């Protein structure tokens, strides 16, 4: 069963492009008109916007802030500007049975635990161990904790412990999921 799933995984991984899309949907809630003598620093002190946020809200400003134009309208406040949305990843998820073994994060894992084995692309030396991720698939959202490493999973994919899933999912084997760190 697992090997059948695994070969499906490889084939599907080639077909689906992984798209970590950081969608910072920011709408501007306050603007500022550049006047003679303005620099990023003066605009920041006049409006209270932070330097990183000013640049995030106005990608046209270069890093040295040397291209301001008198009369230019800048955004100085935007929703979500200081708290970026988490990245949503699209990947292929499969499932596995930890069978009471010790996961790559060092804890014993049972089949019915809500845990996930992260693919190598995002494993990052285990830096996400213990972190919760939200997984949405087929209209459902589940929360699982990173406790293991999946060597056979594609970049943004992972393997969920079987118990976290409904029987329907297990029949499907490998499916596309959208997920983010919670
Ligand atoms: C990520 O996906 C969740 C669940 O589908 C959705 O609610 C959220 O708006 C998405 N976030 C972004 C930044 O696209
Ligand atoms: C993850 O799911 C929880 C519970 O549904 C929710 O409160 C949280 O906002 C979600 N986090 C993200 C980043 O979508």
pTM of the model: 0.59
Residue-wise burial string across 132-165, b where 16 or more C-beta atoms lie within 10 A, e elsewhere: ebbbebeeeebebbbbbbbebbbebbbbbbbebb
Instruction: Report the C-alpha gap between 118 and 148 in whole angstroms.
Output: 6
Low-confidence ranges of the chain (pLDDT < 50): 1-25, 81-82
Instruction: Report the C-alpha gap between 141 and 172 in whole angstroms.
Output: 17
Q: Ligand 2 centroid vs 181 CA: distance in angstroms?
A: 9
pLDDT of residue 84: 54
From the CA of 131, the nearest ligand is: 2
Instruction: Report the C-alpha gap between 41 and 44 in whole angstroms.
Output: 5
Q: How many helices (H) and strands (E) does the chain have?
A: 5, 8
Query: Model confidence over 21-67: pLDDT tens digits?
Result: 333 345 788 899 999 999 999 999 999 999 998 998 898 999 999 99
- Whether ligand 1 lies within 6 angstroms of the CB of 112 is answered as no
Domains of the chain (ranges; CATH) run 2-78 (3.10.350.10), 89-181 (2.40.40.10)
Q: Ligand 1 centroid vs 88 CA: distance in angstroms?
A: 6
Instruction: Report the C-alpha gap between 101 and 57 in whole angstroms.
Output: 47
Mutate to test the pocket of ligand 1, among 134, 137, 180 (most ligand atoms within 8 A of CB): 180
CA atoms within 13 A on the CB side of 129: 11
Q: Ligand 1 centroid vs 141 CA: distance in angstroms?
A: 11
**Residues in the ligand 2 pocket, defined by CB under 6 Å:** 86, 134, 143, 180, 182
- Whether ligand 1 lies within 6 angstroms of the CB of 178 is answered as yes
Instruction: Report the C-alpha gap between 80 and 74 in whole angstroms.
Output: 16
Instruction: Report the C-alpha gap between 31 and 136 in whole angstroms.
Output: 36
Q: Ligand 2 centroid vs 134 CA: distance in angstroms?
A: 6
Backbone phi, psi, residue 18, to 5°? -75, 130
From the CA of 89, the nearest ligand is: 1
- Whether ligand 1 lies within 6 angstroms of the CB of 72 is answered as no
Q: Ligand 2 centroid vs 132 CA: distance in angstroms?
A: 9
């Amino acid at each position: 069963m697992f090997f059948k799933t695994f070969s499906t995984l490889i084939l599907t991984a080639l077909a689906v492009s992984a798209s970590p899309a950081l969608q910072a949907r920011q709408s501007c809630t306050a603007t500022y008109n550049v006047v003679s003598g303005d620099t990023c620093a003066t605009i920041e002190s006049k409006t209270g916007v932070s330097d990183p946020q000013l640049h995030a809200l106005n990608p046209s400003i270069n890093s040295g802030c040397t291209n301001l134009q008198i009369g230019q309208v800048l955004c100085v406040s935007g929703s979500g500007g200081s708290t970026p949305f988490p990245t949503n990843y699209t990947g292929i998820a499969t499932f596995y049975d930890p069978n009471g073994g010790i996961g790559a994060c060092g804890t014993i894992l049972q089949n019915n635990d809500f845990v996930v084995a992260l693919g190598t692309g995002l494993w990052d030396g285990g830096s996400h161990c213990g972190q919760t991720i939200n997984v949405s698939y087929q209209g459902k959202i589940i929360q699982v904790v990173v406790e293991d490493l999946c060597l056979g999973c594609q970049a943004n994919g992972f393997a969920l412990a079987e118990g976290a899933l409904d029987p329907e999912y297990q029949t499907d084997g490998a499916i596309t999921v959208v997920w983010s760190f919670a």
